[in-house]
Amino acid sequence: MSDSRQQILETVRANRSTPSEMPSLDQSWTCYDDPLSQFRTMVKAVGGQTEVLCDAVAASEWLASQQAYSESRQRVSLVEEVGTSDLSLDDLARPHDLASLEWAVLPGEFGVAENGAIWITDRSARHRAVYFLCENLVLVLPASEVVHHLHEAYERLGKFAASEEAPFGAFVSGPSKTADIEQSLVIGAQGPRSLVVLLIGQP
Amino acid sequence: MSHAAAAAEFIADEERTRWHDQAVWYVRQKRDRAAKSLPEWETLRETASQIKQHTLSKLDEYLEEFERNATRQGAEVHWARDADEHNAIVLKLLEQKGTKRVVKSKSMLTEECGLNPFLEKAGIEVIDTDLGERIVQLRNEHPSHIVLPAIHVKKQEVGELFHEKLGTKRGATEADYLTEAARHHLREKLLAAGAGLTGVNFAIAETGGIVVCTNEGNADLGTALPPVHIASMGIEKVIPRLEHLGVFLRLLARSATGQPITSYSSHFHGPREGQEMHVILVDNGRSQQMTEDDLRQSLNCIRCGACLNTCPVYRRSGGHSYHATVPGPIGSVINPARDPARHKSLPFACSLCGSCSDVCPVKIPLHHQLLSLRGKIVDRKLLPASKRWSMKLAAMVLKRSWLYRILGFGARCSLRWLPRFLLYNPLNGWGRQRDLPEPATKSFRQAFRDRNRKPGDK
Which pLDDT tens digit goes with each residue over B441-454? 889 989 999 988 86
CB A106 within 8 A of CB A140: yes
Kindly state whether A27 is in contact with chain B, defined as any CB-CB distance less than 8 angstroms: yes
Q: Cα separation of B179 and A54, whole Å?
A: 38
For B364, the 3-state DSSP assignment is: coil
Confidence of residue B456 (pLDDT cuts 50, 70, 90): low
Count residue pairs from A and B with Cβ separation < 8 A.
262
Going through B328-406 in order, the beta strands assigned E by DSSP cover none
Per-residue model confidence (pLDDT) at position B231: 98
CA A169 to chain centre: 8
Query: Does B61 have pLDDT greater than 90?
Result: yes
B296 and A17 in contact by Cβ < 8 A? Answer: yes
A8 and B155 in contact by Cβ < 8 A? Answer: no
Query: Does A171 have pLDDT greater than 60?
Result: yes
Q: Cα separation of B288 and B269, whole Å?
A: 29
Whole-angstrom CA distances from B247 to A158, A159, B255, B357, B359 are 15, 19, 12, 19, 16
Looking at the partner chain, which of A22, A29, A169 has a beta carbon nearest the beta carbon of B54?
A: A22
Q: Cα separation of B45 and B358, whole Å?
A: 10
Buried/exposed code over A2-27 (b: 16+ C-beta within 10 A; e: otherwise): eebbeebbebbeebebeeeebbebee
B191 and A96 in contact by Cβ < 8 A? Answer: yes
* Percentage of chain B modeled with pLDDT above 90: 86
Q: Which of B51, B261, B363 to mutate to test the interface with A (most CBs of A within 10 A)?
A: B261
Query: Does B75 have pLDDT greater than 60?
Result: yes
Q: Cα separation of B253 and B306, whole Å?
A: 10
pLDDT average, residue stretch B329-356: 96
Whole-angstrom CA distances from B344 to A4, B8, B89, B329 are 29, 17, 31, 14
| Nearest chain A CA: its distance from B96 CA (Å) | 17
For B454, the 3-state DSSP assignment is: coil
Kindly state whether B211 is in contact with chain A, defined as any CB-CB distance less than 8 angstroms: no
In one-letter notation, the amino acid at residue B216 is: E
CB B21 within 8 A of CB B316: yes
CA B408 to chain centre: 42
Per-residue model confidence (pLDDT) at position B395: 94
Convert the pLDDT of each residue in A145-159 to its tens digit.
Answer: 999 999 999 999 987
Query: Does A1 have pLDDT greater than 60?
Result: no
Convert the pLDDT of each residue in B6-32 to its tens digit.
Answer: 999 999 999 999 999 999 999 999 999
**Mean pLDDT over all residues of chain A?**
94
Q: What is the pTM of this model?
A: 0.94
CB B201 within 8 A of CB B147: no
- What domains are there in chain B, each with its CATH number? 1-37+296-383 (1.10.1060), 42-141+174-284 (3.40.50.10420), 385-452 (no CATH)
Q: Provide ipTM, 2 decimals.
A: 0.97
B60: how many CB neighbours lie within 10 A of its CB? 18
Per-residue model confidence (pLDDT) at position A161: 67
| Nearest chain A CA: its distance from B264 CA (Å) | 5
Kindly state whether A46 is in contact with chain B, defined as any CB-CB distance less than 8 angstroms: yes
Query: What are phi and psi for residue A142, nearest 5 degrees?
Result: -65, 140
Question: How many CA atoms are closer than 13 Å to the CA of B266, on its beta-carbon side?
Answer: 28
Per-residue model confidence (pLDDT) at position B439: 87
Confidence of residue B299 (pLDDT cuts 50, 70, 90): very high
A12 and B287 in contact by Cβ < 8 A? Answer: yes
Per-residue model confidence (pLDDT) at position B422: 82
- What domains are there in chain A, each with its CATH number? 30-176+185-200 (3.40.50.10420)
Confidence of residue B292 (pLDDT cuts 50, 70, 90): confident
